[in-house]
Amino acid sequence: MNEHELLQSIYNTTTTHAGITIAPGDDMGEMQIGSERILCAVDQLIVGRHVTQDVSPEIIGRKAIARCFSDIAAMAAIPVGSLMTACVPAKTSNQWCEALFLGATKVAEQWGGPIFGGDISCSEGPALFTVTAIASPPECGAITRRGAQAGDYLCVTGELGNSIAGHHLTFTPRIGQAQELLEVLGDNLHSMIDISDGLGQDAAHLASNELQMVIDTQLLPLRTGATVQGAIADGEDYELLFTSAALPPTHLATVIGSVQEGGNKAVTTAGEVISTCGWNHQCP
């Protein structure tokens, strides 16, 4: 399976339905119910793929929630609630499951989206947890991946690279920072995504047929132990990557490049195309 080809095929065959205001292809989908708009996102965590077998159940539960809530941050939205399903090997103890649920419940409530339902089943495969997050968009509307304009600054919160050293287990979704960015930048905040697959690949999601994301690798804020190549391709940073017509406050984000006219890709200032650098891909 090629994930990105499959997703593109799904997007191309998805029909428009009344009441769906943001279709598949963004960090969250959106529907209108009466006069209200509701954002929804779903994400999976598989033990053995997203976390190793030796990670404590409390941390696994935390990450399952955090991964999905990072999508809420990417839309500058406010958490409302969440649903969680568990499919675990039949021999898994109740104690292990309860500890995991406790870790998930604690952060879901802390971040404003308490768990209010779900499902439990068992199988012979690895433990799998699915979280569906529900959120409310800001008054101005959700900040989507589409909206970048030529001349925008390309900016990122936090630090990048070497997430495997521990950050991918301990990060807090940038929900508060997204709200602050929206308050400070207002209409100048044009597009946003969270970096889960890798800076190069996710930056390309902000590009369009007319625009490219140009990154100055010398400006990348590196996490301890990270390399420039790792910052571009490692993924699981869960930082916000956004474009803005105005400079963001330095305590909130770092400018790492700009939006320029060009063809639907992410490149470095040296001209290297990095659009496929990230999860499930090899850099050219």
Residue 279: pLDDT band with limits 50, 70, 90: confident
Domain boundary among 109, 136, 163: 136
Q: How many helices (H) and strands (E) are present in the chain, helices listed first?
A: 7, 12
The reply to whether 23 falls in a domain is no
Q: Which residue has the higher pLDDT, 75 or 14?
A: 75
Is 158 in the same domain as 114?
Answer: no
Q: Which residue has the higher pLDDT, 10 or 115?
A: 115
Residue 284: pLDDT band with limits 50, 70, 90: very low
Domain boundary among 106, 136, 166: 136
pLDDT at position 230 over 80: yes
- Who contacts 28 (Cβ-Cβ below 8 Å, separation ≥6)? 22, 39, 40, 41, 71, 72, 74, 75, 77, 133, 135, 142
Distances (CA, A) of 242 to 14, 56, 76, 168, 239: 26, 33, 11, 20, 10
Query: Is 107:66 a contact under the CB 8 Å cutoff?
Result: yes
- Mean of the per-residue pLDDT values of the chain: 94
Is 227 in the same domain as 159?
Answer: yes
Query: Which pLDDT score, from 0 to 100, does residue 15 have?
Result: 59
Query: Which pLDDT score, from 0 to 100, does residue 12 have?
Result: 63
Q: Domain of residue 211: give its range.
A: 153-268
Segment (H or E) for 3: helix 3-13
Is 180 in the same domain as 255?
Answer: yes
Is 113 in the same domain as 80?
Answer: yes
Distances (CA, A) of 133 to 1, 108, 255: 26, 10, 29
Task: Tell me, rounded to whole angstroms, the distance of Cα 124 from its chain centroid.
Answer: 29
Residue 40 is part of a domain; what is its CATH number?
3.30.1330.10
Residue 9: pLDDT band with limits 50, 70, 90: low
Give pLDDT tens digits for 61-70.
Answer: 999 999 999 9
pLDDT at position 11 over 70: no
Query: Which pLDDT score, from 0 to 100, does residue 58 have?
Result: 98
Averaged pLDDT for residues 223-231: 98
Is 35 in the same domain as 125?
Answer: yes
Averaged pLDDT for residues 93-122: 98
DSSP string spanning 141-170? ----S----TTPEEEE-S-BS-GGGTHHHH
Query: Is 178:242 a contact under the CB 8 Å cutoff?
Result: no
pLDDT at position 235 over 90: yes
The reply to whether 147 falls in a domain is no
Domain tally, the chain: 2
Give pLDDT tens digits for 164-218.
Answer: 999 999 999 999 999 999 999 999 999 999 999 999 999 999 999 999 999 999 9
The reply to whether 3 falls in a domain is no
Domain boundary among 83, 108, 136: 136
Is 36 in the same domain as 88?
Answer: yes
pLDDT at position 89 over 90: yes
Compute the distance between CA of residue 1 and CA of residue 19 in angstroms, rounded to an integer.
31
Record the pTM: 0.93
pLDDT at position 119 over 90: yes
Query: Which pLDDT score, from 0 to 100, does residue 282 have?
Result: 39
Residue 3: pLDDT band with limits 50, 70, 90: low
Residue 178 is part of a domain; what is its CATH number?
3.90.650.10
The reply to whether 179 falls in a domain is yes
- Who contacts 255 (Cβ-Cβ below 8 Å, separation ≥6)? 153, 154, 155, 219, 247, 248
Is 163 in the same domain as 110?
Answer: no
